[in-house]
Structure 1
Amino acid sequence: MQKQRGIGLVSSIIVIIFLVVFIALGIYLVRLDNIVRDRFEGQRWDIPAKVYARPLEIYAQSDVSRQDILDELKLLNYQSSDNYHKPGTFNSNNSQVFIHTRGFDFGDNSDPERVIEVNFVQDKISTIRTTQPSSTGILRLEPMLIGGIYPQHNEDRVLVKLDKVPQPLIDALIATEDRNFYKHFGISIRGTARALMSNVTGGKRQGGSTLTQQLVKNFYLSPEKTYKRKANEALMALLLELHYNKNEILEAYLNEVNLGQNGNYSVNGYGLASQFYFGQPLGELNTAQLAFLVGLVNGPSYYNPWKNPERATERRDVVLHNMLVMGKLTQEQYETEKARPLGVMNKPGVTAVRFPDFMDIVRRQLKQEYQENDLTNQGLRIFTTLDPVAQTRIQNSFENTVNQLVKRNPKQLTGLQGAVVVSHPENGEIIAAIGSTANFTGFNRVVDAKRQVGSLLKPVIYMQALQSGRYNWASPIQDTSIVIKGVGEKDWIPKNYSGTEHGLTTLQTALANSYNLSAVRLGWEAGIPTFTNNLRRLGVQSDIPNYPSALLGAVNLSPLEVLGIYQNFATGGFNYPTRTIRSVVDANGQLLQRYSLQVQNTIDPATAYLINYGLQKVMSSGTGRAGFNSFPNLGLAGKSGTTNDARDSWFAGYSGNYLTVVWLGEDNNKPIGLTGSSGALPVWINVMKQLKNTPNNIPQPNDVQWQWIDSTQNLLSAQGCAGAMYIPMLTNTIPRQATACGLSHYQLESSMPQESYVDEFGNPIPPTPSDQHQSGDAIENFIRESESPKPAEQPKPQVISRGGYTIGSTN
């Protein structure tokens, strides 16, 4: 009896233990089941924000050339093909380009896959035909992917839907990794037993995993190799198969599997791997290329095609043979695919950042408006203003020109650096940005290199002088030595860059030749606070020192800030904030934000017109002459800048549709021996040669008139009179007196045919009231001068006080 009780007690304990284990296992399985379902049914992946360039727009009569289209297709990795039957292919001859586009979803609208026939006459688009017409008449190539903003765990992927995956990829994967995928319930008993036996006996490690187990291992579990993890892998694979069908599991696997490493970023999924190794979408790859991608599953590093091409080819051929064995390839197809080269790109086709300096500006703008989490895991698509063809051409031009400058003086220019930024002034869109002559290190000189800008700020001084009504471009100004005495401070004695004085000159000549002494006199007359307020009005946010040398550019600004100043001049007095982003779309295609144009009137249009003229004279007869000679018919406007000891070389200038700022210098602020004209200007010229510039022809406001003005007496004059300058003027500042030579012209006008004038750039100048036929009574509006003009009276020495400083003649 005692024995039976003992047996009963043991049996009870065993039952209890069994129940406890069963309950514990059930709880554990429920916990695992929750993990499986929560992750699989929720947001499976952190999808980095993808950043795109602008799409190339193609329409009749646009200025897009045949070479522009071919260069864009090259950047998009389109393949030349005789029949262009597949998306991502094209065919070209001298007068036609046929393109089979891939189509693209922009979120708020979608472009279908289509074939486009583009016809050219004298390298201009004449006609376009397409299989899928556009309601707007504008056809677009898909925008180029230029980078991403990645999660903290540094994964990247391009999601693909199973119905978009080529069947040969699925055939190759199943034939190589899991031939019983559609038959098992998540685990392979034979494979698992074989792997356990090999691991226990110390033999060669084997996986024995099904595709479902591989997905679980990568999707849910840590990489540690323990029996507990292996047990969890098997249990979770069974649970995954219990809840989801094979196609759902296969699609998740295709997007999860690791297929390589791109620097700090892992390449996950076949969608991204296709771009990484071949630079093409998955649907455009041939069977051999797809087999190569499948072969990488066994070891992306071991089969790296750039480091181990022979090993990678052998593995690809194994996959092709598996397809042959499984009946997915005929013998003839197998031989054809095996004979193909690997076909991978010379270097990875997808990098963390394609154009790092531009991307850095994009990231900075985004971080002001979005949370970091939204940028790194919500799958946002950011469409930018970048023109990748222009960026590539400008980058090559920039590097070549800088290299030429270094070769001329290799001992002094050991660490020459630079920056270039280009925008469309009419909307503020930045189309190209380069912040280094070498690889990107995180220091973006377009934004971060705040250096003294020298004479680039002189137009702001002349703007104030012209706006005051006391000056015009023919007004005389002294360019002679001066001293500014500060209370308790060292005297400041500015000098011209040449070290010489130029005596009495005109405002036009002073700006064109960048005379320092003239600029200081003008700026000091208006005062430092006025100068500072004008800079603020033009968009400068950086600190502006409150001392006189600020008038000569002793202000630290970045190239991007300089671009912002000059956009006011290039638009005729309007400020469009610089921007790099056009729109942001979420993962579901919903438009989150569209960056519309914002404009502010910062300069009176009449004054802006006068400043534009002055900057044109800088190009035609001043420090920018080399630029004018390169583009004589565009009416370019610009200004050079050189700082003390030639530590910084600047040039900022614009055509009708492009504004470019260039800076050259060394990061350690050593002298480089280059002025704005000898350093930055050659770079600027070669950059502008990469662009399709239109003439700079700002409309003439009604309150501006062109007049002949005597440059010594600042009186009305006439064509042919000594010292006469034909300049634009504010109407309310036109003199009411004329020189003797000028007055005789007005007296004769009533009997002479009206003359028509064009400016030096060939633009017609509309007649002004003083150009019309004058009646005898109208002459009474002018005070007759003596028969011979009086010599210009030399200004008397002046002493002017401004803010605790005193300015006066040095003699």
Structure 2
Amino acid sequence: MAIEVTSIVEKKRTHLVKAARQVFMDGARAAALRKRRLILHGTIAACVIAFGTVITFLIFSYVSYSKIVDARLASGYLTSRAGIYAAPRTLRAGQSLTRDGLVELLRRAGYIETGASDVWNGSFTAQENFVEIRPRASGALTHLVHVGFDKKSRINELTGDGVTLESYTLEPEVLTNDAAMKTGTRASLSYNEIPQTLVHAILSTEDRRFFEHRGLDLLGIGRAILRNVGDDELGQGGSTITQQLVKNTYLSPERTFKRKFAEAMLAFTLERRLSKEDIFALYCNEIYLGQRGSIGVRGVAQAAHIYFGKELKELTLAESALLAGMIQSPNRYAPDRHTEEATARRNTVIAAMLRDGVINKEQADAASAEQLAVAPLNDEGEATAPYFIDYVNRVVEARLASSDRADERGTRIYTTIDLDLQQLAEAALKKQLERLDKAYKNRDAKPQAALVALDPQTGDVLAMVGGRGYEETQLNRATDALRQPGSVFKPFVYAAALESGLSPVSMYADAPQEFIYDRKAKYRPANYGGGYSMQNVMMRTALVKSLNVVTVDVAMRTGLSRVARYAENFGLPKPQAYPALALGTTEATPLALASAYTAFANAGVRVEPNVIARVTDAGGINLINEAPRTRKVVDPTTAYMITDMLSDVIDHGTARAARGSVRRTAIAGKTGTSRDGWFVGYTPHMVVAVWIGFDDNKQLGLTGAEAALPAWTEFVKGAVELRPELGGESFARPDGIVTVEIDPETGELASPTCPQSERIALTPAFAPNVECYLHNNSYAAVAYLDGTEYPAQIPDETRTPAPNNPALPRALTDAERRQLSTPRNTRVITDTKGRSVLVNEMRVREQR
């Protein structure tokens, strides 16, 4: 019984244990299930939150990047290209210009050629003998400009909306595509202007699915991520054409995931703002295609011209494939430097086109077998105004150095250069250098040259040439070559003298002299060529004839320190106060000298050179807006008297050769001869400096009139013909100037009996009030034995001095008068101040 009870109890206990165990296990399973459900719910919630966050982030990013794209499209960021621009060109009736020349100007200014039925702003239509221009919408008062041409390639019709125009100013031409590139120009193309062969070549190698995707090729992005996972620096990626466009125009060159994301968002947004065709055309206009000569090549149109010497529509299949292949690595596949690599890359593109079915096997084989032929590098390989562009970049970098926008992309720099004048300047120097090359053909080095032209009222640089060839050497001799200017410096000596009260008609001895300075140091200058007239000459004559000894004498009497101070005020390096400074021994650049001469053409006010009209960001906001920087250095009357003297340099002095070529225009200037040849001259509205010399500072052996003046004359003649407003029949005459007839032998008022006279501009304070004593019947020619001259009047019967001769030392006595009637040529007498006077009685008797 007990055993049965025990068995029953054991069974119940076992059952209870099993039941408890089952309950525990059921509870554990329930708890695990609840936990799994909690985790699942948490995971789902996290995914929802994450997804929502991503979607929110993407929406926010899309909105943010949309604002960027919209703002930049509205500001013309893509159509108003970054880079450096020339001053606007002006069309005038009667101007020499071909139809094709105008078309080229319009292309470089960013206009697009369209059909006659199109009405796009910023476009043009070219017919056989006329061009119609549709200005850009920004502020255009005229909607259609008609330019007609005659058979002599001159503009014979210029109308705006049917109304005759005197002139029409085009938008500025681009000098460079990118300020940082320094050189290279491109054209703006529409999609329809791009040959389909080139379109297919680019698509086959850069973005096969371009017309299918919406800006992002997800497969390509995935491949790029796998290639670069774990590396914050991206080596390469599967960017679409749209991504490449925004990368080149919107973003900095850093290669990070952050920039890659921005690139993708911008591309996605841009695809919803522009058509595929517009995006592709912009890409073809913007893409960088290497460097040739001094030109950074941007855009397929410029590449066709630079590498093959062809218009884009003339490219062969092989040439189109080559350009498409260069996009990946322009310098590596440059056909002029790496022929084998370029050929292999071209053939790879041709194979890709065959794979995509856009060409057949026969076309592919023929294109692959085509010999690579690159056009020779000639003048087209030289950028427009490369020396000027370098200088502009230097100036802009200095002005924006402290700005947080210094490296902002899309910066547009509008400059002062006139491309027509620039071409004239380059041609004038080239012509003169060709002449000189014949003379120096036996020398190892060839002479170099520089020219700079300024507007004396604004300081705007109108033209600048820094050497005979930028490809040969990038040294800008116009801005950086310090050389002794020689006699070009002399006008500053005479300006200081006039400001100090020395008269331009005061007399100086043109004879060997020795000057003492620093108490005991001696300086003995000589005239160029060693010749002397051994006569007294007027101070102004010494400048006209470039007499060295008299110039030093004038500087000594003015004060060497004062002359040095005035030179510094004119913007030149301050010379050391030694007598030789008067002869231009302190080095200066052509640009500095041109700026200094603006004071003579601008009423005594020097204007600093200026190359920048304005600098704007991508949205058109001004970063730099230049105003002329000026300084008054001399009185307007002083500037005019110097101009009057320098005009005589042209008419009667060392630069007489210029007058025969430049007619009906007031010109003034000064030659300079050191180891180099100089000429700096000006019209009422333009200052031009020309330098010719050797880079190694060897003696040129030519005068400024022989070396520099011909180029100056050639340029100025063409400039005033092209732009008459740069000339002028006379210089502006300030108040306080009178014109008098002076006898150059005495510096006194010319009498009717004087054999020669000069019309001289003076202030009343400098104008003599005594008639010439040398040729007047009422005077005897006399000279003090100390070397100075003085008039002595022969009195009338009353023996009283003439009232208009207050400088008369005294009247002659009866005894002296009787001596003059004796048969002797000269007589020494003593004046009332005890000075010995030599009287020439024969001249008196002859004139009686």
Answering whether residue 175 of structure 2 is matched by residue 146 of structure 1, we say: yes
CA contact (8 A) 2:451 2:689 kept: yes
1:667 to 686, 695, 716: 695
Structure 1 partner of 2:798? none
CA distance in 1: counterparts of 2:731 and 2:262, whole angstroms: 70
2:392 to 339, 362, 369: 362
CA distance in 2: counterparts of 1:380 and 1:529, whole angstroms: 46
CA contact (8 A) 1:84 1:99 kept: no
Question: Which segment is superposed worse, 514-523 or 718-727?
Answer: 718-727
- 1:101 aligns to what SS in structure 2? strand
CA contact (8 A) 2:294 2:382 kept: no
- 2:395 aligns to what SS in structure 1? helix
CA contact (8 A) 1:295 1:319 kept: no
CA distance in 2: counterparts of 1:149 and 1:208, whole angstroms: 25
- 1:673 aligns to what SS in structure 2? coil
- 2:680 aligns to what SS in structure 1? strand
Answering whether residue 521 of structure 2 is matched by residue 493 of structure 1, we say: no
Structure 2 partner of 1:677? 705
Pick closer, same or farther for the CA change 1:526–1:309 going to 2, 3 Å.
Answer: same
Structure 1 partner of 2:747? 714
Question: Per-residue deviation at 1:499?
Answer: 2.1
Answering whether residue 724 of structure 2 is matched by residue 691 of structure 1, we say: no
- 1:546 aligns to what SS in structure 2? coil
2:411 to 356, 365, 380: 380
Residue type of the alignment partner of 2:417? L
Answering whether residue 135 of structure 2 is matched by residue 103 of structure 1, we say: yes
Structure 2 partner of 1:526? 558
Structure 2 partner of 1:651? 679
Question: Which segment is superposed worse, 38-47 or 371-380?
Answer: 38-47
**Structure 1: tracts of 5 or more residues without a match:** 197-205, 327-341, 747-778, 795-811
2:459 to 428, 448, 451: 428
Answering whether residue 640 of structure 2 is matched by residue 609 of structure 1, we say: yes
Question: Per-residue deviation at 1:442?
Answer: 4.4
User: Equivalent residues in 2 for 1:558-577 (5 A)?
Assistant: 558-577=589-608
Structure 2 partner of 1:736? 769
Pick closer, same or farther for the CA change 1:718–1:498 going to 2, 3 Å.
Answer: same
- 2:688 aligns to what SS in structure 1? strand
CA contact (8 A) 1:54 1:387 kept: yes
1:725 to 750, 754, 758: 758
CA distance in 1: counterparts of 2:553 and 2:131, whole angstroms: 61
CA contact (8 A) 2:510 2:547 kept: yes
CA distance in 1: counterparts of 2:494 and 2:641, whole angstroms: 10
Q: Name which one, 1 or 2, has greater alpha-carbon Rg.
A: 2
Query: Could you report, residue by residue, the CA deviation over 1:407-436 in whole angstroms, capped at 9, with x for unpaired residues?
Result: 212334714222110123243221110111
Residue type of the alignment partner of 1:614? M
Pick closer, same or farther for the CA change 1:116–1:185 going to 2, 3 Å.
Answer: closer
1:631 to 639, 650, 662: 662
TM-score by length of 2: 0.67
Question: Per-residue deviation at 1:703?
Answer: 2.9
User: Equivalent residues in 2 for 1:129-528 (5 A)?
Assistant: 129-131=159-161, 138-150=167-179, 176=204, 177-179=207-209, 181-182=211-212, 186-187=216-217, 259-263=287-291, 272-277=299-304, 296-297=323-324, 299-300=326-327, 301=330, 354-371=384-401, 374-412=405-443, 414-439=445-470, 441-473=473-505, 475-487=506-518, 490-506=521-537, 507-528=539-560
Structure 1 partner of 2:86? 53
CA distance in 1: counterparts of 2:243 and 2:394, whole angstroms: 41
User: Equivalent residues in 2 for 1:112-123 (5 A)?
Assistant: 114-117=145-148
CA contact (8 A) 1:584 1:591 kept: yes
Pick closer, same or farther for the CA change 1:575–1:687 going to 2, 3 Å.
Answer: same
- 2:608 aligns to what SS in structure 1? coil
CA distance in 1: counterparts of 2:697 and 2:427, whole angstroms: 25
CA distance in 2: counterparts of 1:190 and 1:263, whole angstroms: 29
Question: Per-residue deviation at 1:357?
Answer: 1.4
Question: Per-residue deviation at 1:555?
Answer: 1.4
CA distance in 2: counterparts of 1:296 and 1:633, whole angstroms: 52
Pick closer, same or farther for the CA change 1:259–1:363 going to 2, 3 Å.
Answer: closer
CA contact (8 A) 1:715 1:739 kept: yes
Pick closer, same or farther for the CA change 1:736–1:178 going to 2, 3 Å.
Answer: closer
Question: Per-residue deviation at 1:399?
Answer: 2.2
Answering whether residue 615 of structure 2 is matched by residue 584 of structure 1, we say: yes
Structure 2 partner of 1:128? 158
Query: Could you report, residue by residue, the CA deviation over 1:742-786 in whole angstroms, capped at 9, with x for unpaired residues?
Result: 76799xxxxxxxxxxxxxxxxxxxxxxxxxxxxxxxx96467999
Residue type of the alignment partner of 1:143? P
- 1:731 aligns to what SS in structure 2? coil
CA distance in 1: counterparts of 2:188 and 2:743, whole angstroms: 74
Pick closer, same or farther for the CA change 1:669–1:266 going to 2, 3 Å.
Answer: closer
Structure 1 partner of 2:4? none
Residue type of the alignment partner of 2:391? I
Question: Which segment is superposed worse, 385-394 or 240-249?
Answer: 240-249
CA contact (8 A) 2:293 2:377 kept: no
CA distance in 2: counterparts of 1:164 and 1:303, whole angstroms: 27
CA distance in 2: counterparts of 1:466 and 1:344, whole angstroms: 62
CA distance in 1: counterparts of 2:621 and 2:220, whole angstroms: 48
Computed over aligned residues only, the root mean square deviation of the Cα atoms, in angstroms, reads 6.0
Query: Could you report, residue by residue, the CA deviation over 1:715-743 in whole angstroms, capped at 9, with x for unpaired residues?
Result: 32235523543323322333232246876
**Structure 2: tracts of 5 or more residues without a match:** 1-21, 227-235, 361-371, 722-726, 780-801, 830-848
CA contact (8 A) 2:89 2:170 kept: yes
**Percent of paired sites with the same residue:** 23
CA distance in 1: counterparts of 2:469 and 2:827, whole angstroms: 55
Question: Per-residue deviation at 1:550?
Answer: 1.1
Residue type of the alignment partner of 2:171? E
Question: Which segment is superposed worse, 173-182 or 380-389?
Answer: 173-182
Query: Could you report, residue by residue, the CA deviation over 1:152-199 in whole angstroms, capped at 9, with x for unpaired residues?
Result: 9x9999999999998979985997544585478955779999x99xxx
Residue type of the alignment partner of 1:360? D
Question: Which segment is superposed worse, 621-630 or 342-351?
Answer: 342-351
- 1:709 aligns to what SS in structure 2? strand
Query: Could you report, residue by residue, the CA deviation over 1:436-481 in whole angstroms, capped at 9, with x for unpaired residues?
Result: 12226443211111222111121122234445554234x3211222
- 1:451 aligns to what SS in structure 2? coil
Residue type of the alignment partner of 1:404? R
Residue type of the alignment partner of 2:770? Q
CA contact (8 A) 1:212 1:249 kept: no
CA distance in 1: counterparts of 2:616 and 2:238, whole angstroms: 42
Question: Which segment is superposed worse, 463-472 or 243-252?
Answer: 243-252
CA contact (8 A) 1:148 1:352 kept: no
Question: Per-residue deviation at 1:615?
Answer: 0.8
CA distance in 2: counterparts of 1:384 and 1:567, whole angstroms: 20
Residue type of the alignment partner of 2:510? D
Residue type of the alignment partner of 2:740? Q
CA distance in 1: counterparts of 2:745 and 2:185, whole angstroms: 71
Q: Paired residues, what number?
A: 716
- 2:711 aligns to what SS in structure 1? helix
